[in-house]
Structure 1
C-alpha cells in the first residue's frame, strides 16, 4: 500500500509537471507571440561583418566579438520562427478541411475555390515573417561558420609555424635575453613599489594580516597533506567500518583542497603587501594552479597505484609509477610558471626565443612520459582483466609515441605543435585517472547505499556509471586538446537542433518529450494492471487464467497506446515513413510468425485454461508440473527438478495429457503373479484386503482384484484401484508391493520366477577327443593372422546323460 501511494504521488507530480516540461521542450509552440527582430538592423550588421571578413588581417578579438553578436542574432531568429505558429496550424487545418486541391484539368465549386484562395493568401501572409526569420538565421549561421573556419585556420597555421631550432647555440642568446629582461622587470617593479611612501605605509598597516596569511598558508601547504594522508590510511585499515573506503576517499580530498587553499592564502599575502607589479602579479597568481597540479597528481597517483584502495589499477610497479607521476606534475607546474612569465612580455617573443624557452620542458616531460608509458604497458595480460589490460596496453603505447614525437618536434623547431601535443597528453592521462577514481567512488557509494556485497562492484550499474562519466568527460577532453568554449557551444547548438528524418526533426527536446510521455503512460498502465490484478478481477467470477489474460492484454494495449500518444505528443510525424514501415512489416511478419503463433496460443491457453498452473501434464513425452504460463511459452518443472520451456503452439496443436485437469485422482494397476498350484481364491482375497487397507485408496469405487491369465510361468492377477492423489502414486505402489511380499511369505504363497530345462540331444559327442590341430601355414601377404586360444576344461562325469 505504501509503494502504491508513493507511485500515485509520483504520477500526480509528473502529471502536474508535464505542461511545464512540454513547454520547455517545445519552445517553438510557445513562442507564438515572440517579438520580431529588427531585420533592417540585422541587414546592416550582416553587411559590415561580411566586409570585415573580406579583409586579410582581422584581429582575433574583433572576430570573437563579431561572433558573439552573430550568436545573439541567431538566437533571436530561432525564437522568431515560432511566430504565428498557432494561427498557421489553424489555417492549415482549414485548408485540409476543404479537401484535396483539384488536379490539373479539374474544377471545384466556385465558393470552395474562393475560400481556398483566401486561406492560402492568409497562410502566405502568416508565414512571411517565419520564412524571413529562417532565411536570416541561416545567414547568421553561415557567417558564424565562416568565422570559426578562419579561427581554425589561424590556429593550424600557428601550430605549423617552424621556429629556429633550439639545439643551435646561435639561438640561445635570444632566450637568455628574455630571462634577463624578465628578471630586470621584476626587480624594477618591486623597486618602484618600495619607493612609494604610500605603498610602504600600506605594507606596514597590513603587516599583521600578511604574517597571519603566511603562517596559515605555510601550515596548510606543508603539514595539511600529511595529516589528510595519515587519516586516510587509518580509515582504510579500519576493518569494522563498512563505509571505510568511501570515507577514506572523501577525507583524502584534503590532500588537494588544503594545500590549494594555502596557496591562495599565500597569493593573497603577497597581493596585500602592495608591492606587486604586472609581471610579479602574473607569476604569483600562477602559484595556486601549480600547487593544484602537483597535489592533484599526487592524490590521483596515490589512489591509482596502491593495493589497499578501491582502484588497484597498477600494483606491481606502484612506487615507480607514483614517482613518475609526481615528476610529471612538477614539470607541468613549471610550464604554468613559464607561460605566466612570458605572458606579459612586450614586445612578443621572437620565434627563436619561443623555441629556446619551450623546448627544454618538452624534452624533460618526454623523458618522464616515456618511462611512465612503459610502466603502464602490462607485461602479461591477467586472466579476468583482459579489457583493463588491453586498454592499459593501448594507453601505454600511445603515451610512448607522444613522448617520442613531441620532443622531436620541439628540437626541430615546431615548438607550438610540441606544446599542443605533450601537455594535453599529460592532462588527458590525469583526466582518465580522475574518471577511474570517481567511477570507483560512485560504485562504492552505490554498494553502501543499497547494502550490496563487494563482488557486485563490477555489476551493471557501476559499469553504466563509468560509461556515463566517460561521456560527460568528452567536453573536458575537447577543451584540453585545444577546442574553444565557443566550439562546444556551437556543437551543443547543432545537437539541440537535431536531425531531419523526412518532414520530422528529431531533437533532444523531442526525444525527452517522447520519453517523458511514454514513461508516464507506462506508469499509468502498470497502475491499472495492479488495480485489476489485486482489486477488481479477484472479485469477479473469472478464472485465474482469464484474469491473467486480461491483465496481460491491458499491459500490451497500454504500452502500445503510450507509445502512440508519446509519438503524437512529441510532434513526430511518421507519415513519410509509412511506406517503409509497410514494406518492413511484411518481412518482419514472416520472421515473427512463430512468435505471433505462440502469442495467440498463449492467449488461448490463458482464456480456455486446458492446463493451469500446478497441473501435472505430459507433453512431447515429458512429464512435469506447470509452473507458469506466459503469452509466449509455458514453464514445466519436471520430476528431475529441471525447467522445461515449451512454446504455447505445441500445447495448442499437440496432444497433451493432463493428469490433474478436473481432479487429482488416478487409477493404479499393479500386476501380481503366483506359482502354479497356489490357491487362487485365497490369493485374490489377500490382494483385495491389502488394497482396501491402504489409506490413499478410495473406498468408492472400491478396489478390485482380477484373475487375468495363465502365464508361462505364473498365474497372473491385477490389482485395480483409484487413488485420491496422483502425486503419491509411486509411494502407494511401493507400499502395496511390500505388503504383498510380506503376506505371501506368511501364507506360504510362492512368487515364481522364470525357469528353463536344457536337453542335450547327443551327449556322446562331448566325450570324443578333439583332433590335433593342423600345422600352421605361413600367412600370405594378403591374409590377416587370426590368433585363437583353446580353453581346455576338465571332464565332469555328472554331465553324462541326456538332461542337465
Structure 2
C-alpha cells in the first residue's frame, strides 16, 4: 500500500508539473499570436517612407517588451530539460544499426518517452529563441532608420541668414510672436481675476520678497553657513568652501523659482507666458551651474584653481563663460517665443545667427587660452613633448577643439546648415562644462579623502582621488552621449546587450556570471587566507613540526585553496569550459613554448615545498652568493644576503643547480682557522696552546672536541689548522675573529713568531754587471772638463 501511495503522489506531482508547463506553453502561444501581428505591423512601418519617428519609437518600445519576454522564455523549464537530458545520457547511446545488437524493449520505451517529453519542452523554448532573434533584428532596423533620419535632419539646409531679404521678415515674426505671447488671456474668467489677485496678493508678495532675498543675499548666507560648518566640523576648509559654492547655486536658483511662482500666482498672464517664467528660472539655474563650474575650474584663488593659469587668463575665461551662458539663454528664449506662432523657415536661422557668431568669438578666446596653457607647460619641459603632463595635453586638446568648433560652427550656420551648427557648438560647450564639473567633484572627493585620512591637501596627489575621478568620468559618459545626440533608447539598448553578455561557443557569459564568479572567488580567497592565518599562528606552532615544514604546509594550503576557490567560482557561475577545450588546446602549444621557463619555475617551486631541500630561514649558498631564505613563492625564492639586499633566485636554479645549505636540519657547523709559526718553534707547544684557545670559546662544542692539525711545512712557516664545531653556525665569523685575536695575544705572550713571506734574490753573471758599471764610470770621468 505504501508503494501505491507514493506512486500516486508521484503521478499527481507530474500531472501538476505538466499542467503548469501546459499553461506556460498556452501563454506563449497567445504571446506568439500577438507578437506576429506586431512584427508584421513594424515591418510594414519600416517599409513605408512616410512613417513618423514617433510611431517608430512607439513600435520599438513594444518590440523591446516582447524581446524581453522571449529572452526570459528561453530559460523556461531549464531545470527539467537538463534533467531529461541527463536521464537520456544515462541510458547510453542507442544501437547504431542492427549488427550492433538491439536495445531492450523497456529501455527503448523509456528512451522514446523521455525524448517525447524533451521535445515537448524544447518546442516553446526554441520558438522563443527564434522570435527573440526576429525581435532583436527589428529593434536594430528601427534604430538604424531613426539614426538615418537624424543624419538627414542634420544635413538639411535652411535659408542663408546672411541674405538681407530674410532680415525684415525675421524681425516681423519675432514682433508678432511677442504680441501673441503678451495678448494671451489667463485661464480664469476675467471677472474673477481681480478677486483672485486680491486674495493671493499676500502670497505673491511673500514669494517675490523671498525670491529677491535669496537672489541678492544668497552669496552672503552661503558664506555664513560655510563658516558655521567649518567651526563645527574643524579641519577640511576645502570641503566647506565647496559646500558654500554649491549654496551659491541652490539659493539663487530657489529665488528664481520663487519669483516665477510669484508672477504665476498673480493670474494675470496666459499659459504660454507662465511657461516662459518657469523656463527663465530653469535657464537661470543652468547659468548659475555653468558659472559655478567656471568658478571652480578657474578659481580666483591660485591654490584652488583646477587649471593653474595666470590670474588674468582665469578672469578672462570666467568673463567669456558668462557671455556664452547669457547668449545661449537669450537664444533659447527667442526660439521659445518664435514657437508661439507659425514663422517663416528663415526667421529662426536669421535670429540665431548673431548669437552663434558671438558665442563662437568667446569660445575661440577660451580655446586660445587653453592652448596657451599647454604651450607654457611644453616650454617648461625643455621641449620634450613626451614629458608634458597629462593634464596639459588634455587641456590643450580641449582648447584646440574649442578653436576648431568656434570656426566651423559659424561657417555652417552661414552656409545654411543651421541644424548642423546647432548640433556642434552647444554640445561641445556642454561637454566642457561636464568635464569641468567632473574635475570639481573629483577635487571635492580628494578633500574629503584628505580630511578622513588626515593627509590634508597632500591627498589630492594620492591614488584614491584619481580613482574617484575615473568613476565620476564613467558616470558622466552616458550624459556626454546624450549631449552629443544619442537617444535614451540607444543607451538602454547598449545596457541590455551588456546584461545579456556574449556567447562563447554554446555558453553565454553575462555580467551576472562575472559578478557571481568574483563573489565566490573572493569568498574562497578570504576563507583560504583565514585558514592560512589560523594554521600559521594557532595550529602549527603547537606541533613539533619544524618551521620550514610549517611554511611549506601553509603555502600548500594557500595554493590548494585558491585552486578550489577558482573551481567553485567557475562552477557556481555556470561557465562551461568544455567549449573552450579546442581553443585551449591550440593555445597550449604556444603557451608551452612561450612560458616554459615560468612553468619550470612553478613546478620547481612545488618541488621545493614538497621535498623541502631548503626552507625559510636556512642559510644557503647558491651561485657564489650566500644569505638566508626569506620567502619561497611560486616562481622564485627570495634570499636576503648578509649585505641586507634581496636576491631573487628562480626556483629552477635551486632544483637543478648546486646549493649549499649550512643549516639544513640543524644549526651546527664547523669553522676552520689557519695559522703559521716560524721554523724552529716547538710544534707540540703550539698544538697545546691552540687547543686551549679553541676550548675557551663558549660557542665551540665539546663533543666532538676541537681538532688541531699540523698540516704542512710551508715555504715560510709551519702551518696549523684549528677545526672545531659550533653550536650555531651563524656565529662562524664571530668565533673565527675571536680565535684569531686570542692566538695573536697568546703568541705574543709566549714569544712565538708568526712569520711573513721571505725570499732570497740570486743574480746571474754578476761580473757582467760589474764590468758594465766600471765602463760607465770611466766614460763619466773622460767627459769632465778641468777647471
- TM-score interval, normalised by the smaller of the two chains: 0.7 to 0.9
Alpha-carbon distance in 2 for matches of 1:361, 1:323: 16
SS in 2 for 1:721: strand
Which residue of the partner structure matches residue 321 of structure 2?
325
Q: CA deviation at 1:159?
A: 1.4
Structure 1 residues 495 and 105: alpha-carbon distance in aligned structure 2, compared to 1, 3 A threshold: farther
Quick one: which of 438, 442, 460 aligns to 1:439? 442
Quick one: which of 386, 391, 412 aligns to 2:415? 412
Which residue of the partner structure matches residue 212 of structure 1?
206
Q: Deviations over 1:752-776 (max 9, x none)?
A: 2233444551352353455999xxx
Contact preservation (8 Å) 2:447, 2:459: no
Q: CA deviation at 1:235?
A: 9.1
Alpha-carbon distance in 2 for matches of 1:405, 1:51: 40
Structure 1 residues 169 and 125: alpha-carbon distance in aligned structure 2, compared to 1, 3 A threshold: same
Q: CA deviation at 1:305?
A: 2.2
Contact preservation (8 Å) 2:249, 2:288: yes
The yes-or-no answer on 1:44 pairing with 2:40 is no
The yes-or-no answer on 1:263 pairing with 2:256 is yes
Structure 1 residues 719 and 394: alpha-carbon distance in aligned structure 2, compared to 1, 3 A threshold: same
C-alpha RMSD of matched pairs (Å): 3.3
Quick one: which of 167, 170, 173 aligns to 1:175? 170
Alpha-carbon distance in 2 for matches of 1:477, 1:282: 27
Structure 1 residues 583 and 403: alpha-carbon distance in aligned structure 2, compared to 1, 3 A threshold: same
SS in 2 for 1:717: strand
Alpha-carbon distance in 2 for matches of 1:551, 1:34: 59
Q: CA deviation at 1:40?
A: 3.0
The yes-or-no answer on 1:149 pairing with 2:152 is no
Which residue of the partner structure matches residue 649 of structure 2?
646
The yes-or-no answer on 1:222 pairing with 2:228 is no
Q: Deviations over 1:318-344 (max 9, x none)?
A: 2222222232222233333234333x4
Which residue of the partner structure matches residue 770 of structure 2?
764
SS in 1 for 2:652: helix
Which residue of the partner structure matches residue 711 of structure 1?
714
Structure 1 residues 44 and 713: alpha-carbon distance in aligned structure 2, compared to 1, 3 A threshold: closer
Alpha-carbon distance in 2 for matches of 1:628, 1:146: 61
Structure 2 unaligned residues grouped into runs of 5+: 1-20, 382-386, 781-787
Out of 741-750 and 200-209, give the one that drifted further.
741-750
Contact preservation (8 Å) 1:67, 1:144: yes
Which residue of the partner structure matches residue 12 of structure 2?
none
The yes-or-no answer on 1:421 pairing with 2:424 is yes
Which residue of the partner structure matches residue 159 of structure 1?
154
Out of 430-439 and 516-525, give the one that drifted further.
516-525
The yes-or-no answer on 1:587 pairing with 2:587 is no
Q: CA deviation at 1:289?
A: 2.5
Out of 664-673 and 282-291, give the one that drifted further.
664-673
Contact preservation (8 Å) 1:194, 1:200: no
Alpha-carbon distance in 1 for matches of 2:369, 2:326: 19
Which residue of the partner structure matches residue 20 of structure 1?
none
**Mapping of residues 669-708 of structure 1, within 5 Å:** 669-708=672-711
Alpha-carbon distance in 2 for matches of 1:77, 1:421: 40
Contact preservation (8 Å) 1:624, 1:638: yes
**Mapping of residues 749-760 of structure 1, within 5 Å:** 749-758=752-761
Contact preservation (8 Å) 1:373, 1:397: yes
Q: Deviations over 1:608-628 (max 9, x none)?
A: 333222221111111111212
**Mapping of residues 245-260 of structure 1, within 5 Å:** 245-260=238-253
Q: CA deviation at 1:448?
A: 3.6
**Mapping of residues 525-674 of structure 1, within 5 Å:** 525-674=528-677
Which residue of the partner structure matches residue 128 of structure 1?
123
- By percentage of residues, which structure has more helix? 2
Alignment coverage as a number of residue pairs: 740
Structure 1 unaligned residues grouped into runs of 5+: 1-28, 774-791, 793-804
The yes-or-no answer on 1:315 pairing with 2:309 is yes
Which residue of the partner structure matches residue 334 of structure 2?
338
Out of 220-229 and 272-281, give the one that drifted further.
220-229
Q: CA deviation at 1:409?
A: 0.5
**Mapping of residues 388-407 of structure 1, within 5 Å:** 388-407=391-410
Which residue of the partner structure matches residue 184 of structure 1?
179
Q: CA deviation at 1:369?
A: 0.9
Structure 1 residues 276 and 65: alpha-carbon distance in aligned structure 2, compared to 1, 3 A threshold: farther
Q: CA deviation at 1:158?
A: 1.8
Structure 1 residues 122 and 33: alpha-carbon distance in aligned structure 2, compared to 1, 3 A threshold: closer
Alpha-carbon distance in 1 for matches of 2:347, 2:284: 27
